[in-house]
Amino acid sequence: MTAVRVPGAPIISDGRLVSTSPATGAEVGRLPVAAGDDITRAVARAREAAGWWAGLGFTGRRQRLLRWRGVLARRIEELAELMHAEGGKPVPDAIVEVLTAIEHIDWAARNAGRVLRPRRVRSRLILAEFTGHLEYQPYGVVGVIGPWNYPVFTPVGSAAYALAAGNTVVLKPSEYTPVVGQWLVDSLAEVVPEQPVLTAVHGLGDVGAALCRSGVDKLAFTGSTATAKKVMAACAETLTPVLLEAGGKDAMIVDSDADLDAAAEACVWGGLTNAGQTCIGIERVYAVEPVFDAFVGKVVERAGRLTVGADGADIGPITMPGQLDVIRRHIDDALARGGRAVLGGADAVQPPYVRPTILVDVPEDSLAVREETFGPTLTINRVRDAEEAVTRANALPYGLGGSVFGRRRAVAIARRLRSGMAAVNSTLTFAGMSTLPFGGVGESGFGRIHGEDGLREFGRPKAVTRRRARSLLPAMTFERTPADVARLVKVTKLLYGRRR
């Protein structure tokens, strides 16, 4: 990498990754780049720590993770300021992000034992002479690769659940937010000084690729769909199981009986928070014809009030300088194809900022409708009815989240969205509910973090059967007689042979 200083673009200098503010270019910190055997050594250390960590049991881990939660809560302002300095995120948004991460650590720590601990499982009439035993054993070392847009929420969403399940974690933070990643590692080490249960390896994409091939027992990836495919291909070489939280192009549907003020407020928040750099951010809106004009008016009025700038503004800089070109291209393409800008538009991109841009009547084959824009822009298209809205919302290969505003049909519509999550009369809220699983379908990935499914994602189910009596109907033995087999046939027909 050349040493040309584009604010926010990471630089490698003397074997160190130099992280800078996208707003000012000021250096935020520098960290050693993992090279040579560094990654395999980090995984080996994590493997040694894994035995100790698993041996603490659910209660020992719960105590320690709750202490970590306490550190984050007590130092929430410090961490939010660091996130602001490194990624440009407004401090209030960073506070909300850390709070969400704290809630996930708390829930994972408190519930891992209940969800994963060894339990007896009832057998049925077949094999009634056996009892079943089920438990979720830790994998060992989990590799976590994270993006820059939510540098606390995303790694914690995997790491806290993996740790609570008894694994140790090697984290590869994004090259745009390594200092925040290291802060997380250091804060856990403060309360768990005995062993490196969470460590970080820093560098560019090649470090992430090396982590996939380092012998980790599972790889949890959060990032773009393009990189997710590379991660899966690398992990396929060793059949390393993967969890992929990839990109999205989430839609909001506004039905005819929606509360339009609430819908507009949520739409502006869901689409423009974090300057639109949100995997589950609203990027496309489908509003039914009778409410379209009124809804657009309310969105424009609210979005037009937002401030853009470095400190104290609602919308901060675009974190990744290269994304500015993508956003500009999407806006230009939408306008060239006949879409109209009712706010912002062609000159909205003013590096490192993008002014809120609302595009209406944008053809469905436009880039702004089909591809992840990752900027403070929204397309709002009119549809005949909710049915057409669902069809259009479901037309893309992505399927992460979504939102529906309305009364009578809203939940039914939400259930029909081809996505892993949906919010009715709100946006993004499923991300903060620790009891619900988080993840996508299609090109948005597979596997789940958060909730009970998120805990089970980080444990290998282990099934054990145990004989408790002699078999009355011997089946799984060479010692069975023809009479036993005849009885098996009779029982099979009796139990399962009914026509209804």
* Among the listed residues 279, 492, 255, the one whose alpha carbon sits nearest the alpha carbon of residue 372: 279
Q: How far is CA 318 from CA 21, 87, 315, 412, in A?
A: 10, 8, 9, 36
Does residue 227 interact with ligand NDP by CB under 6 A?
yes
- DSSP string of 371-431, one letter each residue: S---SSEEEEEEESSHHHHHHHHTTSS--S--EEE-SSSHHHHHHHSSSS--EESSSSGGG
Does residue 303 interact with ligand NDP by CB under 6 A?
no
> Looking only at Cα atoms, what is the longest distance across the chain?
85
Q: For residue 237, indicate whether it is catalytic.
A: no
Task: Tell me the two tokens of residue 346.
Answer: 């062609």
Does residue 146 interact with ligand NDP by CB under 6 A?
yes
Nearer to ligand NDP, 64 or 172 (CB): 172
CB-based contacts of 421: which residues, under 8 Å, 6+ apart?
280, 400, 401, 402, 430, 431, 436, 438, 439, 440
Catalytic residue among 245, 372, 443, 457: 245
Residue that has been written with the tokens 């306490």 in this structure: 70
Q: Give me the least distance between CB of 267 and ligand NDP, in Å please.
A: 18
The footprint of ligand NDP on residues 194-213 (CB under 6 A) is 204-205, 208-209, 212
Does residue 145 interact with ligand NDP by CB under 6 A?
yes
Rounded to whole angstroms, how far apart are CA atoms 252 and 239?
A: 37
User: Which of 93, 97, 106, 175 lies at the binding interface for ligand NDP (CB under 6 A)?
Assistant: 175
Nearer to ligand NDP, 248 or 406 (CB): 248
User: Which of 43, 362, 368, 400 lies at the binding interface for ligand NDP (CB under 6 A)?
Assistant: 400
Q: Give me the least distance between CB of 499 and ligand NDP, in Å please.
A: 46
The footprint of ligand NDP on residues 335-374 (CB under 6 A) is 372
The footprint of ligand NDP on residues 440-459 (CB under 6 A) is 440, 445
* Among the listed residues 45, 37, 38, 35, the one whose alpha carbon sits nearest the alpha carbon of residue 197: 45
In this chain, which stretch among 45-53, 119-127, 242-250, 259-267 interacts with ligand NDP, using CB under 6 A? 242-250
Nearer to ligand NDP, 344 or 420 (CB): 420
Does residue 248 interact with ligand NDP by CB under 6 A?
yes
Task: Tell me the two tokens of residue 56.
Answer: 């603490």
* Among the listed residues 496, 470, 474, the one whose alpha carbon sits nearest the alpha carbon of residue 487: 474
Q: Which residue sits closest to ligand NDP, CB atoms considered?
A: 208
Q: For residue 371, indicate whether it is catalytic.
A: no
In this chain, which stretch among 36-44, 67-75, 185-193, 246-254 interacts with ligand NDP, using CB under 6 A? 246-254
Does residue 232 interact with ligand NDP by CB under 6 A?
no
Using an 8 Å Cβ cutoff, are 362 and 368 in contact? yes
User: Which of 58, 107, 136, 148 lies at the binding interface for ligand NDP (CB under 6 A)?
Assistant: 148
Size of the site for ligand NDP (CB under 6 A): 31
Residue that has been written with the tokens 């460590």 in this structure: 199
Rounded to whole angstroms, how far apart are CA atoms 1 and 51?
A: 39
The footprint of ligand NDP on residues 274-293 (CB under 6 A) is 279
Does residue 154 interact with ligand NDP by CB under 6 A?
yes
Q: Are strands 119-121 and 27-32 parallel, antiparallel or unpaired?
A: unpaired
Does residue 247 interact with ligand NDP by CB under 6 A?
yes
Q: Give me the least distance between CB of 199 and ligand NDP, in Å please.
A: 15
- DSSP string of 139-206, one letter each residue: -SEEEEE--SSSTTHHHHHHHHHHHHTT-EEEEE--TTSHHHHHHHHHHHHHH--SS-SEEE-BSSHH
CB-based contacts of 172: which residues, under 8 Å, 6+ apart?
143, 144, 145, 146, 200, 201, 202, 203, 207, 208, 211
Q: Give me the least distance between CB of 101 and ligand NDP, in Å please.
A: 13
User: Which of 58, 139, 150, 161 lies at the binding interface for ligand NDP (CB under 6 A)?
Assistant: 150
Catalytic residue among 279, 283, 443, 457: 279
Does residue 172 interact with ligand NDP by CB under 6 A?
yes
User: Which of 21, 158, 182, 222 lies at the binding interface for ligand NDP (CB under 6 A)?
Assistant: 222
Does residue 88 interact with ligand NDP by CB under 6 A?
no
Site for ligand NDP, rule CB under 6 A: 145-150, 154, 172, 174-176, 204-205, 208-209, 212, 222-224, 227, 230-231, 245-248, 279, 372, 400, 440, 445
Instruction: Give the catalytic positions in this structure.
Output: 245, 279
